Amino acid sequence: MNCRNFLRTAALSSAAFAFLAFSTSANAQKKYDTGASDTEIKIGNIIPYSGPASAYGIIGKMEEAYFKMINDQGGINGRKINFVSYDDAYSPAKAVEQTRKLVESDEVLFVFGPLGTPSNTAIMKYLNAKKIPQLFVATGATKFGEYKTSPWTMGWQPAYQSEGRIFAQYAITEKPNGKIAVFYQNDDLGKDMLKGFKDGLGDKASMIVAEDSYEVSEPTIDSHIVKLKASGADIFISISTPKFAAQAIKKVAEIGWKPMFFQSNVGSSVGAVMRPAGIENSQGVLSLAYAKDALDPQWDNDEGMKKYLDFLAKYAPFANKAESSALYGYGQAQTVVQVLKQAGDDLTRANIMKQAASLKDFTTDTLLPGVKINTSATDFYPIEQLRMMRFTGEKWDVFGPPIDSKLGG
């Protein structure tokens, strides 16, 4: 090589080097952790396909179908998603076993959408110790969003405490001198939301005049309702799952009690709660929502809903559009795909977590208009906005702007 040639090569290569150095991160050197490669991203998941909570198995199937669609469209930045989903039967012991299988045997990049408070609590310590993202857990328990103690764990749906807080804010503004009766399910859902509700009331917690809880094994909850009415309350908050929510709405109407009625989001399905409770009994019940209801005719011409229904027809014919869990799985999968798109070629576990914590005004096809997903390094609660809604006629009427509970930083 002569001197001139050498100089030219040197100049060219340094120019190229400078170009590379200043170019965007997408062109930066590819970085991979276990579970990612030039052709594939391996995502692990556990969900109860069998056992007492097997109804939620549909979420896993929807996610699998969604990733199949993404792969058919060419994958994410040229990489196909390999979704490995195992059954944990809603047992914490099984959840640990299956999660370890995902991490140590299947070697997934991260764990996505594990379902249920017990299962997630059981695997949280293990995944955080191994520095493997436990992304978008399918439970609203508030403990899955504490970035300081568990920096590798992030929630997705609104935390139960968020919902409690927003109810409290609404109650204070609408009926500052009201008397509140609280009815809740005696489990993590009920207690967590109750805590949020009390936190939201703050120094007005004395508004609560009665509290009563029920067990999921109780055949009927009528006696609780009668007891709560006797307290003379004019605001009633029902933190209950579908079967009991329907019973409560019906009983409240039957005994001629007309309180301001709050129904928690988990028990607000039109098909599973409001219709069985009786449409006439359900009028005026208030609730909160963050996602659209596929049965609600008001979304018939909605762009996102159309995409969702097309998807159901093409990739998930097994799912019933009345199932809110199916919609849930779709929304969750869409969010994780966004995270992977943002991560680009830097598919390390640290970057996955970093990108999950830098979602800005992201919205899925299934979220209510105005509800945005925002996360930051100090905010590990993706969906924090909810909108108030009132049951009118045969459907929920959303009113007011999205309300932020400001649970995270």
Partner 1 sequence: MSTVQDVSTAPVVAAVPKKAMALGPLASLIILALLIVTPLFVKNFIIFQMTMWLIYAIAVLALNILTGASGQFSLGQSAFYALGAYTSAILMEHVGVNYALTLPVAGLVCFIAGFLFGLPALRLSGVYLALATFALAVAMPQLLKLGVFEHWTGGVQGLVVTKPDAPEILASLGLKVSQDMWLYFFTLLVAIVIYIFSVNLLRSRSGRAMMAIRDNEIAASAMGVDVSLYKTLAFGVSAGITGVAGGLGAIAVQFVAPDGYTIQLAIALFLGMVVGGVGWLPGSLAGAAFIVFVPNIAEHVSKGLSGAVFGVILIIIIFLLPNGARQLAYGAQSLIGKLRKN
Residue whose CB is less far from partner 1, 155 or 344? 155
Residue whose CB is less far from partner 1, 49 or 396? 49
Residue whose CB is less far from partner 1, 19 or 318? 318
Residue 256 in tokens? 């001629």
Residue whose CB is less far from partner 1, 214 or 330? 214
Q: Taking the complex as a whole, how short is the minimal distance between the CB of residue 212 and partner 1, in angstroms?
A: 13
Q: Taking the complex as a whole, how short is the minimal distance between the CB of residue 51 and partner 1, in angstroms?
A: 7
Of the listed pieces 38-46, 115-123, 250-258, 299-307, which binds partner 1 according to CB under 8 A?
A: 115-123
Residue whose CB is less far from partner 1, 53 or 181? 53
Distance of CA 82 to the CA centre of its chain: 22
- x/- binding map, residues 143-182, to partner 1, per CB under 8 A? x---------------------------------------
Cβ atoms < 10 Å from Cβ of 187:
15
Q: Taking the complex as a whole, how short is the minimal distance between the CB of residue 58 and partner 1, in angstroms?
A: 10
Residue whose CB is less far from partner 1, 98 or 281? 98
- x/- binding map, residues 59-98, to partner 1, per CB under 8 A? --x-----------------------xxx-xxxxxx-xx-
Residue 344, phi-psi category: left (phi > 0), alpha (psi -120 to 50), beta (remainder): left
Contact call for residue 55 and partner 1 (CB under 8 A): no
Contact call for residue 197 and partner 1 (CB under 8 A): no
Determine which residue in the list 68, 101, 243, 372 makes contact with partner 1, applying CB under 8 A.
101
Contact call for residue 195 and partner 1 (CB under 8 A): no
Q: Which of residues 208-227 bind partner 1 (CB under 8 A)?
A: 215, 217
Residue whose CB is less far from partner 1, 97 or 234? 97
Contact call for residue 319 and partner 1 (CB under 8 A): no
Q: Taking the complex as a whole, how short is the minimal distance between the CB of residue 369 and partner 1, in angstroms?
A: 35
Contact call for residue 122 and partner 1 (CB under 8 A): yes
Determine which residue in the list 40, 51, 178, 283 makes contact with partner 1, applying CB under 8 A.
51
Q: Three-state secondary structure along the chain?
A: CCHHHHHHHHHHHHHHHHHHHHCCHHHCCCEECCCECCCEEEEEEEECCCCCCHHHHHHHHHHHHHHHHHHHCCCECCEEEEEEEEECCCCHHHHHHHHHHHHHHCCCCEEECCECHHHHHHHHHHHHHHCCCEECCECCCCCCCCCCCCCCECCCCCCHHHHHHHHHHHHHHHCCCCCEEEEEECCHHHHHHHHHHHHHHHHHHHHEEEEEEECCCCCCCHHHHHHHHHCCCCEEEEECCHHHHHHHHHHHHHCCCCCEEEECHHHCCHHHHHHHHCHHHHCCCEEEECECCCCCHHHCCCHHHHHHHHHHHHHCCCCCCCCHHHHHHHHHHHHHHHHHHHHCCEECHHHHHHHHCCCCCECCCCECCCCCECCECCECCCECEEEEEEEECCEEEEEEEEEECCCCC
Q: Taking the complex as a whole, how short is the minimal distance between the CB of residue 245 and partner 1, in angstroms?
A: 19
Residue whose CB is less far from partner 1, 92 or 151? 92
Please work out the total of residues on this chain that contact partner 1, with binding judged by CB under 8 A.
36
Determine which residue in the list 25, 186, 220, 223 makes contact with partner 1, applying CB under 8 A.
186
Distance of CA 188 to the CA centre of its chain: 16
Residue whose CB is less far from partner 1, 54 or 231? 54
Q: List residues binding partner 1 (CB under 8 A).
A: 49-52, 57, 61, 85-87, 89-94, 96-97, 100-101, 103-105, 117-118, 121-122, 124-126, 143, 186-188, 191, 215, 217
